[in-house]
Structure 1
Amino acid sequence: MNWRYILPIYFIYILLSIIVKLIGEQNFPGNVLLYHAINSSQVTLLNPIMVFLSEYGREYVWIPVTAALFIAGGKYRRASIILASAFVLAIIFGELSKYAVAQPRPFLVLSTYHLLVPKPHDFSYPSGHALIVGVGAITLLLTVPYYISLPLTAEAILVSYSRVYVGVHWPLDVLAGWILAAAISLTAIKLEWLEMKIYDRVKNLATHDRNEANMKEMKKEKRNQS
């Protein structure tokens, strides 16, 4: 993966963020209209599913997925290490963006909304849920077979959609989250050599410490026997 393909995605995200900072999300063309279209389309039978996806579709899916890939070993462990690295970058960049752009949630701006979950107290842009699941989906699309990545991508899209559906995010938050997710995922794949180097060093240190502990235990047993 070449930086000339990655850096323009960061540029698009930064440019979009500057525009949002200057005019506000409520003034971004189509943002309010699309929010109402999605948020007002709630269906009683679907609401519990969308609430579950919105509240738990991030941690309850992507942490176990990362752990399972690591345990599986081989190319799946490689994917899990890239994934974990991308998540760390996403958390850092996402939080910096939230405070830099500082956009209020839609329920703080609009007079009409349908809220299905408790009101979050942090800033709105970008959607942290969309960012994390977007990172997960894009990274796996590029590192593991389709029969693993496609179902998880579908889950990531549903989680992202649910954040607008339940009323806590603007559609632009979700779009921005996925744009930043694409840049971060490609960055993590580009830096795979560094991530694997760090992993190997940590693994060697852990093995060395475990071997030393075993040697001490063996010496202690010999002294006790004598």
Structure 2
Amino acid sequence: MELNILDWFQTLHTPILDKIMTLITKLGDAGIFWIILTLLFLIIPKMRKTGIIMAAALIMDLLICNVAVKNLAARTRPYEVNTSVQLLVAKLHDYSFPSGHTAASFASVTALYLAGERKLWKPALVLACLIAVSRLYLYVHYPTDVLGGMVFGILAGYVGYQLVKFLEAKISGRKNAGKQVRR
């Protein structure tokens, strides 16, 4: 059934849409768009906490998806099953489940949402969805890979946010304890 869905996406191909989808998917290559956005936020004092939360979310995403789940699932990519498909992007050398592009995107969106960035998380969600669809359009992931990327990305964003809150509380507690000792 999943190959049927991917084959349906193949019927949508046009030269213009091919260019758009390859461009959109490149924004997710190695999480580059989200990493650059995180670094930008870390540089801007007013956005630093958001940058820290996004960095924690992306690190959790890397550990959960790329280090653990991809290697445990070890799922082959759809173009390795249906070899008749002509790819518009280079063949990838890692496993298919979950979609790393999608996971990094949804980890970042979740981090933005939990950080309270009301104006930023909605356009980021649109981009994350476009990146996810591009992975199907380009025949590099199964629909369940993309769905798994969404779930693990949201989980990574949540865990990253909670980690930052935990560390903030620890640091704040130490500062308060230090003030009480000095009195």
Per the TM superposition, whether the score is higher than 0.5 is yes
- Give the partner amino acid of 2:71: Y
Deviation at 1:198, TM superposition (A): 8.8
Which shows bigger deviation, 113-122 or 169-178?
113-122
Task: Report the CA distance shift for 1:196/1:148 in structure 2 as closer, same or farther (over 3 A).
Answer: same
Deviation at 1:130, TM superposition (A): 0.6
Tell me which of 77, 92, 107 is aligned to 2:63.
92
Task: Report the CA distance shift for 1:82/1:40 in structure 2 as closer, same or farther (over 3 A).
Answer: same
Matching of residue 123 in structure 1 with residue 95 in structure 2:
yes
Partner of 1:32: 3
Deviation at 1:111, TM superposition (A): 4.4
Partner of 2:180: none
Matching of residue 186 in structure 1 with residue 135 in structure 2:
no
| Aligned-partner SS, 2:72 | helix
Task: Report the CA distance shift for 1:111/1:199 in structure 2 as closer, same or farther (over 3 A).
Answer: farther
Matching of residue 77 in structure 1 with residue 48 in structure 2:
yes
| Aligned-partner SS, 2:71 | helix
Separation in 2, partners of 1:68, 1:122: 29
Matching of residue 53 in structure 1 with residue 53 in structure 2:
no
**Which ranges of structure 2 fall in alignment gaps of 5 or more residues?**
173-183
Max Rg structure: 1
Tell me which of 127, 131, 136 is aligned to 1:159.
131
Task: Report the CA distance shift for 1:87/1:172 in structure 2 as closer, same or farther (over 3 A).
Answer: same
Tell me if the contact between 2:54 and 2:111 (Cα under 8 Å) persists in the aligned partners: yes
Matching of residue 101 in structure 1 with residue 73 in structure 2:
yes
Structure 1 residues 164-209: Cα deviation after superposition (integer angstroms, max 9, x where no partner)? 1111111111100001111121112222234447999xxxxxxxxx
RMSD between aligned residues: 2.1
| Aligned-partner SS, 2:122 | helix
Deviation at 1:109, TM superposition (A): 0.8
Tell me if the contact between 1:107 and 1:168 (Cα under 8 Å) persists in the aligned partners: yes
Tell me if the contact between 1:141 and 1:149 (Cα under 8 Å) persists in the aligned partners: yes
Deviation at 1:93, TM superposition (A): 1.1
- Give the partner amino acid of 2:137: Y
Task: Report the CA distance shift for 1:171/1:134 in structure 2 as closer, same or farther (over 3 A).
Answer: same
Separation in 1, partners of 2:45, 2:170: 17
Matching of residue 176 in structure 1 with residue 148 in structure 2:
yes
Tell me if the contact between 1:82 and 1:195 (Cα under 8 Å) persists in the aligned partners: no
Separation in 1, partners of 2:107, 2:21: 20
Tell me which of 2, 9, 14 is aligned to 1:43.
14
- Give the partner amino acid of 1:89: M
Query: What is the count of residue pairs matched by the alignment?
Result: 170
**Which ranges of structure 1 fall in alignment gaps of 5 or more residues?**
1-29, 201-226
Separation in 1, partners of 2:89, 2:16: 16
Separation in 2, partners of 1:185, 1:42: 33
Separation in 2, partners of 1:137, 1:169: 20
Tell me if the contact between 2:56 and 2:161 (Cα under 8 Å) persists in the aligned partners: no
